[in-house]
């Protein structure tokens, strides 16, 4: 059972099904956000349906590219023998 | 006194017979000690224990209250899990070091006075350093020395702060430090932040933890930073600076995790990030925020231990630790993948996992305090957490490009330990009430609201979308990243150059001068004295000359020419100077 679940996420022949599963999950999560009760609205974005999806995606992209820029252009990344 | 057994003492005493046991009896003993400690936890009743008077100073070895109990619970349970994971290790000294480490961490947690805290703090530093030394490879030994140097420095700051605080207030009982900005307040805060790995004092952690033994790193991931969170909760609740440093910390670890190629160093950067949430909670300082910090520390220890166990299992079975050299292991290690992913979902705060019910307390406390920027920073860090520990690391370690290795699952004891941690990660997520009941303040918080669930899933699943779309950009590279350890790793080299070149040359010149000129003058004057006044004062002159000769010889002997001796003398001099300053002027 565990082996089967893990293989589903690894084997190349399942790639198509994985993509469908991802698309369905994303859609479900996005749509569900429009149907929940919003009692604790502290900041303006708490009231916006779909905000979390947008913010999550943008955060992810920002983290990847800003970090890589710091690593490359910011010279944080060095050869492995830098300290030797 | 008799109705109280210090849980830390059980581990310290329990460590003693380990070297004389072997085989099954030793394994049984290793399990028995943490089991007894857990059973003992159930008997502890809040109160003050082990109070005594030492040279006129009131000390208190055991202060038991809800806050110390929640940390002691998670420490003892994690000690059991870590011990099960390490059960196959034959070298007794690693088990001894681990037990002393757990024991001293519990010593900090129950410390009712600053001296008990300091002594436990120092034992913790040395015992934990051994878990890095024990890896025995040259990079590990060097990292362990750096680790030890940093923690000894932290210990000196703590000691200085404690003495100043004690002299100023007349009490050495451990409690909140009210007066903001004083030297004692600052010294102790810096020492605590160092152990909590708050940037820029974080590099010791990410430098040393990945070099530790496979089993040692599991212990390391649990105790040092979380004792630091504990003492911060005790001494600095509501310190505004911690809100900002904690928020920066949460992002800092995430940024470095993008760049990292070493599996356990990536996880270590996520310790920094996760402890950031706890530090934010301490800084906000409301009851809900402090509850959140304690709850997050509790949940964190299990999922981070589980993640380190998973990465450790891969290193143990393959001998490889770089993402660029791994991949495709899911075919033969599915159980490890499955258990690792439970830890990954827990740290990412998926609903039904432990991080969901603890991290959200801190964020809700920040929202309740109207801190929009903090909430946004912590949310970005949440996205980054899933991106790295939940996606990047498992993808490149277990899936992705096939590295061609077909390792078996790790030994059964390792899988059992991971299973125990996984059960707790899910159990806490499904039954948060059990954890909430342990927290220091009454909990009025419901994590499972519709908006919170869809909001969290929105952040996480669309992070996954970003990962899938930009996967290529995340490919690990064969590099290391510069962190603040650069200053002492390169700085030490500069110091050694300075000691070897200018200082040694100056020293050479001075000794040449004393050899050629000073001694000759002394000789000549002695001889001259002998000639000029052989009869009247020869005894005196002889005496002076002999003294001068002897002095010259002594000076020459002192000048060993070994640079480390000069360095030690210089450091000793600087420390003495600082001590004199602190005691006589700064007080």
The per-residue pLDDT for B573 is 73
In terms of DSSP H, where are the helices of B16-137?
23-43, 66-85, 92-110, 114-133
List the one residue out of B173, B300, B280 whose CA is nearest residue B235. Answer: B173
What CA–CA distances, in Å, run from B351 to B348, B449, B463, B531, B558? 9, 10, 15, 99, 68
Geometric angle at alpha carbon B313, from B468 and B317, rounded to 5°: 105
d(Cα B184, Cα B232) in Å, to the nearest integer? 14
Give B309→chain A minimum CA distance, Å.
18
For residue B157, name the pLDDT band (cuts at 50, 70, 90).
very high
Residue contact B458–A56, C-beta within 8 A = yes
Q: What is the ipTM of this complex?
A: 0.95
Residue of B310, B454, B456, B477 for testing the chain A interface, max A β-carbons within 10 Å: B454
Which one of B367, B458, B474 has the shortest CB-CB distance to A52? B458
Tokens at B28, concatenated:
């049984």
pLDDT score of B133 more than 90: yes
Q: What is the mean pLDDT of residues B117-122?
A: 96
Residue contact A7–B334, C-beta within 8 A = yes
B273-328: per-residue pLDDT in tens?
A: 999 999 999 999 999 999 999 999 999 999 999 999 999 999 999 999 999 999 99
* Chain A residues close to B368, C-beta within 8 Å: 42
* Chain B residues close to A16, C-beta within 8 Å: none
A6 interface with B at CB cutoff 8 Å = yes
In terms of DSSP H, where are the helices of B319-449?
334-347, 354-368, 372-385, 393-398, 412-430, 432-438
Residue contact B481–A40, C-beta within 8 A = no
* Chain A residues close to B266, C-beta within 8 Å: none
Residue contact B482–A80, C-beta within 8 A = no
Determine how β-strand A77-79 pairs with β-strand B479-481. Answer: antiparallel
- Higher-pLDDT residue of B354 and B582 is B354
Contacts of residue B161, defined as CB under 8 A and 6 or more positions apart, other chains included, come to B183, B184, B185, B186, B187, B188, B191
Residue contact B256–A67, C-beta within 8 A = yes
The per-residue pLDDT for B512 is 85
Contact B480, A80 (CB under 8 A): yes
The per-residue pLDDT for B563 is 60
Which one of B449, B453, B462 has the shortest CB-CB distance to A26? B462
Give A78→chain B minimum CA distance, Å.
5
B63-115: per-residue pLDDT in tens?
A: 999 999 999 999 999 999 999 999 999 999 999 999 999 999 999 999 999 99
Both ends of chain A: CA-CA distance in Å?
47
Residue contact B451–A37, C-beta within 8 A = yes
The per-residue pLDDT for B185 is 93
* Chain B residues close to A48, C-beta within 8 Å: none
The per-residue pLDDT for B582 is 65
Q: What is the mean pLDDT of residues B558-569?
A: 62
Residue B122's Cα: distance from chain center in Å?
12
Give B474→chain A minimum CA distance, Å.
7
B515-534: per-residue pLDDT in tens?
A: 888 888 888 888 877 776 66
List the one residue out of B335, B326, B476, B338 whose CA is nearest residue B405. Answer: B326
Average model confidence (pLDDT) across chain A: 93
Residue of B328, B459, B472, B475 for testing the chain A interface, max A β-carbons within 10 Å: B459
Q: What is the mean pLDDT of residues B121-148?
A: 95
Element holding B61 (H helix, E strand): strand B57-64
Place of tokens 């020492």: B191
What CA–CA distances, in Å, run from B209 to B146, B155, B276, B497? 12, 19, 18, 28
* Interface subset of A 26-65, CB within 8 angstroms of B: 26, 29-30, 32-33, 36-40, 42-43, 46, 50-57, 59-65
Which one of B338, B450, B456 has the shortest CB-CB distance to A2? B338
Residue contact A43–B387, C-beta within 8 A = no
Cβ–Cβ pairs < 8 A, chains A and B: 162
Residue contact A64–B387, C-beta within 8 A = yes
Geometric angle at alpha carbon B347, from B82 and B31, rounded to 5°: 15
The per-residue pLDDT for B558 is 57
pLDDT score of B418 more than 50: yes
Which residues, in sequence order, are bridge partners of residue B54? B57
Residue of A nearest to B363 (CA): A42
Q: Please give the backbone phi and psi of residue B408, each rounded to the nearest 5 degrees, phi first.
A: -75, 170
A72 interface with B at CB cutoff 8 Å = no
* Chain A residues close to B370, C-beta within 8 Å: 42
Residue contact B482–A26, C-beta within 8 A = no
- One DSSP character per residue, B110-172 reads H--BHHHHHHHHHHHHHHHHHHHHTT-SHHHHHHHHHHHHHHHHHHHHHHHHHHHHHHHHS--
Which residues, in sequence order, are bridge partners of residue B480? A78
Give B381→chain A minimum CA distance, Å.
8
Which one of A2, A5, A33 has the shortest CB-CB distance to B454? A33
* Chain A residues close to B489, C-beta within 8 Å: 83
Residue contact B383–A42, C-beta within 8 A = no
Coil, helix or strand for B50?
strand
Residue contact A51–B254, C-beta within 8 A = no
* Chain A residues close to B375, C-beta within 8 Å: 43
A24 interface with B at CB cutoff 8 Å = no
What CA–CA distances, in Å, run from B492 to B483, B488, B567? 15, 5, 11
Which one of A22, A51, A59 has the shortest CB-CB distance to B463? A59
Average model confidence (pLDDT) across chain B: 91
For residue B1, name the pLDDT band (cuts at 50, 70, 90).
very low
Contact B282, B196 (CB under 8 A): no
Residue of A nearest to B368 (CA): A42
The per-residue pLDDT for B2 is 55
pLDDT score of B546 more than 80: no
Residue contact A82–B464, C-beta within 8 A = no
Return the DSSP state at B478. S
The per-residue pLDDT for B587 is 43
Give A68→chain B minimum CA distance, Å.
7
């Amino acid at each position: 059972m565990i082996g089967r679940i893990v293989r589903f996420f690894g084997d190349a022949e399942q790639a198509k099904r994985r993509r469908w599963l991802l698309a369905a999950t994303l859609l479900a999560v996005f749509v569900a956000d429009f149907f929940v009760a919003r009692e604790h609205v502290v900041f303006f974005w708490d009231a916006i349906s779909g905000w979390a999806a947008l913010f999550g995606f943008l955060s992810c992209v920002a983290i990847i590219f800003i970090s890589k820029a710091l690593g490359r252009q910011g010279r944080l990344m060095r050869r492995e023998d830098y300290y030797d | 006194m008799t109705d109280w057994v210090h849980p830390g003492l059980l581990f310290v005493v329990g460590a003693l017979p380990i070297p004389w046991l072997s085989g099954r009896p030793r394994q049984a003993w290793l399990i028995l000690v943490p089991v007894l400690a857990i059973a003992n936890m159930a008997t502890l009743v809040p109160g003050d224990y082990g109070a005594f008077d030492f040279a006129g100073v009131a000390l208190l070895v055991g202060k038991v209250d809800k806050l110390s109990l929640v940390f002691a619970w998670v420490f003892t349970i994690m000690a059991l899990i870590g011990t099960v994971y390490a059960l196959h290790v034959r070298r007794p000294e690693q088990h001894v070091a681990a037990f002393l480490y757990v024991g001293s961490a519990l010593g900090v947690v129950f410390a009712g006075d600053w001296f008990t805290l300091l002594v436990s703090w120092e034992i913790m530093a040395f015992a934990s350093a051994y878990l890095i030394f024990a890896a025995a490879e040259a990079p590990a030994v060097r990292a362990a020395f750096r680790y030890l140097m940093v923690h000894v420095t932290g210990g000196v700051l703590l000691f200085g702060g404690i003495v100043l605080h004690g002299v100023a207030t007349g009490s050495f009982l451990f409690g909140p430090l009210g007066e903001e900005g004083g030297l004692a307040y600052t010294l102790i805060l810096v020492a605590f932040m160092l152990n909590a790995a708050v940037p820029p004092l974080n590099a010791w952690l990410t430098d040393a933890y990945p070099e530790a033994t496979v089993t040692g790193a599991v212990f390391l991931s649990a105790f040092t930073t979380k004792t630091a969170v504990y003492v911060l909760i005790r001494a600095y609740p509501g310190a505004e600076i911690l809100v900002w440093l904690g928020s920066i910390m949460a992002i800092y670890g995430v940024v470095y995790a993008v760049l990292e190629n070493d599996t356990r160093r990536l996880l270590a950067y996520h310790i920094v990030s996760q402890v950031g949430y706890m530090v934010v909670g301490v800084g906000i300082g409301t009851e809900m925020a402090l509850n959140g910090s304690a709850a997050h520390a509790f949940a964190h220890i299990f999922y981070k231990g589980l993640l380190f166990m998973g990465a450790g299992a891969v290193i143990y079975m393959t001998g490889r630790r770089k993402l660029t050299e791994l991949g495709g292991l899911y075919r033969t290690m599915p159980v490890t993948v499955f258990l690792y992913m439970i830890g990954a979902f827990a740290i990412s705060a998926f609903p039904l996992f432990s991080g969901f019910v603890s991290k959200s307390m801190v964020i809700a406390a920040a929202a309740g305090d109207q801190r929009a920027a903090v909430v946004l920073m912590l949310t970005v860090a949440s996205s980054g957490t899933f991106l790295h520990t939940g996606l990047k690391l498992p993808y490149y370690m277990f899936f992705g490009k096939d590295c061609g290795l077909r390792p078996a699952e790790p030994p059964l004891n390792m899988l059992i330990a991971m299973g125990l941690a996984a059960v707790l990660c899910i159990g806490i997520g499904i039954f948060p009430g059990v954890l909430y009941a342990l927290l220091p303040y009454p909990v009025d918080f419901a994590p499972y609201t519709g908006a919170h669930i869809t909001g969290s899933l929105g952040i996480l699943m669309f992070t996954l979308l970003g990962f899938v779309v930009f996967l290529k950009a995340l490919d690990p590279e064969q590099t290391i990243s510069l962190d603040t350890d650069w200053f002492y790793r390169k700085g030490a080299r500069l110091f050694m150059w300075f000691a070897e070149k200018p200082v040694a040359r100056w020293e050479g010149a001075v000794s040449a001068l004393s050899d050629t000129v000073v001694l000759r003058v002394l000789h000549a004057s002695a001889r001259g004295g002998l000639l000029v006044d052989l009869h009247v004062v020869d005894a005196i002159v002889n005496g002076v000359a002999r003294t001068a000769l002897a002095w010259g010889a002594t000076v020459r002997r002192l000048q060993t020419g070994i640079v480390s001796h000069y360095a030690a003398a210089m450091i000793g001099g600087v420390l003495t100077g600082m001590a004199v300053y602190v005691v006589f002027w700064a007080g």
